[in-house]
Structure 1
Amino acid sequence: MSDTTAEIGRTRDVTPADFAHVRDWVFDLDNTLYPRRTDLFAQIDKRMTSYVSELLQVSAEEAKVVQKELYREYGTTLRGLMERHRIDPDGFLSFVHDIDYSFLAPDPALGAEIERLPGRKFIFTNGDRGHAERTARALGILEHFEDVFDIVAAGLVPKPAAETYDKFMGLHRIDTERAAMFEDLARNLEVPKARGMRTVLVVPENFETTIGDVWEHEGRDGEHIDFVTDDLTRFLRRLRGEARDAA
């Protein structure tokens, strides 16, 4: 698919002028800086199910239902478990991020495009710093980022809570009128757009809605989405005025 405005049926290719004002570039981590098809997050998902199953002493199938309910209601499974079961967040984060990162291959093309962006670059994730750093290091892009703002820095309050964005923006003195955010979940772009940021939704290849839970795709045709892409590297390349066929 081409990079388009979010209003399905009306297309407009992104141009360098659309992001010429941006000096702070904010990227979600999982399923944003690497494609969803990589299935890295699937490992975390399975370990969360295992954690819930052991905690509640229920089957994996029952645990999965609870896990997804908590995720949707509270923003993360962790937050839901903290609210309902008073779990130790450090233990949870350590357990669910004990995964195999060898599935990730270095992505020098993405790294080159991130490096060329003018200004500062940040990772803003509902995961923890260790997971973000291991992931970005495996991709070969960690060195391009000013900082990682993780769930611990957020006081364990996940996106899409407005207070979490405000904490991040305050900590790094983000001028939201000169900032852009890239995310794979439409709901996580509502606050950034309201604060004045340019927003980009990163969707699965071929715009498939069959990947992930249906509700995860809700709102991606909303007015809070400025652009949609299924290829982050190509999108960033075109911000430099590169031709479509150069990707």
Structure 2
Amino acid sequence: MLDLPIEDAHAVQRDYYQRYGTTLRGLMEEKGVQPDDFLDYVHDVDHSVLEPNPALADAIDRLPGKKFVFTNGSRGHAERSIARLGLTSHFTDLLDIVATDLVPKPRREAYDMFLAKTGVSPVRAAMFEDLSRNLAVPHLLGMHTILVVPPGTREVFREAWELEGDDAPHVEFVTDDLAGFIEKVAGAIES
């Protein structure tokens, strides 16, 4: 679309992602790109690499309250991912980038829309995220914040800055074992 060599296009993508929260928001702001085709294209991925995670499903079930997925991705992508993991019935709902009027995390407006649409009370909630920068606003709002850095993260994130911040003041907990972490939390709540 930009008619650039791949290295230059990647530099533009990285710049938009860092400045706007998502590449899509940058393309919309800078190039007037319409979101639907972009979202369909970038989320046309092979979900077969995801395997059911019964331990995570059991752990999530032990937590009290409603559970939501809040993603900068598309609803379809999130639904396909959750289904592959065997977690579909474990969440009350999911809010995608479209549900926040294409305003991405980490912008405050995205979280405000999430809270308004779900009725979640921040001081009675926890936010699990794979990017530290997306935990700054939830922490400010009073949520407990957990940075999830599973094995293989280096292969998913291309840029060093995406892995930064595990020691930031807005990150209360860091885990590389989400199911195990949730089991410990659920056990503490139940006792």
Q: TM-score, normalised by structure 2?
A: 0.92
Letter in 2 for 1:174: V
Could you say which residue in structure 2 is the equivalent of 1:74?
Answer: 20
Q: What does 1:96-107 align with in structure 2 at a 5 Å threshold?
A: 96-107=42-53
Q: 2:184 matched to 1:238?
A: yes
Could you say which residue in structure 1 is the equivalent of 2:169?
Answer: 223
Shift of 1:150: 0.4
Q: Of 115, 134, 139, which aligns to 2:80?
A: 134
Q: What does 1:1-247 align with in structure 2 at a 5 Å threshold?
A: 55-205=1-151, 212-241=158-187
Identity among equivalent positions (%) equals 53
The runs of 5 or more residues in structure 2 that have no matched partner are none
Please state whether the residue corresponding to 1:239 is helix, strand or coil: helix
Q: TM-score, normalised by structure 1?
A: 0.72
Deviations 1:114-154 (A, max 9, x none): 11111100000000100000000011001110111100001
Shift of 1:208: 6.6
Please state whether the residue corresponding to 2:167 is helix, strand or coil: coil
Task: Answer whether contact 1:206 1:230 (CA < 8 A) is retained.
Answer: no
Alpha-carbon RMSD:
1.9
Shift of 1:209: 10
The runs of 5 or more residues in structure 1 that have no matched partner are 1-54, 243-247
Letter in 2 for 1:205: P
Letter in 2 for 1:107: N
Deviations 1:90-127 (A, max 9, x none): 01001111111111111111111111111100000000
In structure 2, relative to structure 1, the CA distance for the partners of 1:144 and 1:207 (3 Å cut) is closer
Could you say which residue in structure 2 is the equivalent of 1:15?
Answer: none
Which structure exhibits the higher relative contact order, with contacts defined as CA atoms closer than 8 Å and separated by 6 or more residues? 1
Shift of 1:220: 2.1
Shift of 1:212: 3.3
In structure 2, relative to structure 1, the CA distance for the partners of 1:211 and 1:135 (3 Å cut) is closer
Give the number of equivalent residue pairs.
188
